[in-house]
Structure 1
Amino acid sequence: MTAQFSVRHADEPFEEGLRGFFAYRDLGIAAATGGRVGAHVIRAKPGHGAEPVWHRHELGFQMVYVLKGWVVFEYEGQGEVRLEAGSCVHQPPGIRHREVAHSDDVEMLEITTPAGFATEETGAPG
């Protein structure tokens, strides 16, 4: 399949997504690539704090780049990692992790392959 041209602008709406305390804005990459790559902006919902749940994703690639604010993730074998505007993390396939805390204004760019993937909630690593 040939990739399609795609453009999205900052006024596109945010919608519900994987985590209830975040809102997600689709960047159109999944549709343009036939689902091979996904990209969206994630931002905190006002008044909603983190709900730390250990989980992992079945995917080939996941990268998070912080655009604004800060977020703290905890990764199996790595501990807690604080990311601030300009920080980037590559989350290896299958790594168990959870989002521990975030600023009220956090915004992140997430890129994945494929666009659609399974998420499994797990117990704490141990």
Structure 2
Amino acid sequence: MPDSHATPGKLAIVNHLGPDSFKPDGLRPFFEYRPLGLDTLTGGKVGAHVIRARPGMHADAPRHTHALTFQFIYVLKGWAIFEYDGYGEHKLVPGSTVYQPPGIKHKEIAHSDDFEVLEITMPAEFETATVE
């Protein structure tokens, strides 16, 4: 039977991540990322992060796409405004969900200092490309 007990530093089916688990080394410098370990537990098939704004830093990313098969976002705190190709601008607030179809062109326009989301992707690692 696999080890299902939470042990510091070891991933299992139950994990407890402390406040120091956010890292500033993700896709965007104005966010901090808390990896949830699904990449390791699924052999890279699924990725999951809690992503939060770095207070005082604002969105400054070009319009882009991601090369993945699935991306889902659930807003936990704060707000953000995103623009999605063919769908226009949308203000996301706590409880908002976003299914980003593969390859959709999008751009973040603004976010609050307390913006925080849960993001789930397939696969865990994927390419991001700037588009016009």
TM-score (norm 2): 0.86
- Structure 2 stretches of 5 or more lacking a match? 1-11
Q: Secondary structure at the match of 1:31?
A: helix
**Of 89, 92, 96, which aligns to 1:83?**
92
Q: How does 1:3-82 map to 2 (within 5 A)?
A: 5-15=13-23, 16-82=25-91
Task: Note if contact 2:28-2:61 (Cα within 8 Å) is conserved in structure 1.
Answer: no
Task: Note if contact 2:68-2:121 (Cα within 8 Å) is conserved in structure 1.
Answer: yes
AA partner of residue 58 (structure 1): A
Query: Once the 2 structures are TM-superposed, how far is the Cα of residue 8 of structure 1 from its aligned partner?
Result: 3.6
- Structure 1 stretches of 5 or more lacking a match? none
What residue is the counterpart of 2:6 in the other structure?
none
Q: How many residues align?
A: 120
What residue is the counterpart of 1:96 in the other structure?
105
Per-residue Cα deviation, 1:38-90 (whole angstroms, up to 9, x for no partner): 00000000110111410000000001100000111100011101110011010
The alignment-based identity, stated in percent, is 55
Task: Note if contact 1:54-1:122 (Cα within 8 Å) is conserved in structure 2.
Answer: yes
TM-score (norm 1): 0.90
Per-residue Cα deviation, 1:16-38 (whole angstroms, up to 9, x for no partner): 20011111000111111000000
- From the CA coordinates, give the structure whose radius of gyration is larger: 2
Q: Secondary structure at the match of 2:39?
A: helix
What residue is the counterpart of 1:111 in the other structure?
120
Task: Note if contact 1:60-1:114 (Cα within 8 Å) is conserved in structure 2.
Answer: yes
The CA distance in 2 between the partners of 1:61 and 1:111, in whole Å, is 8
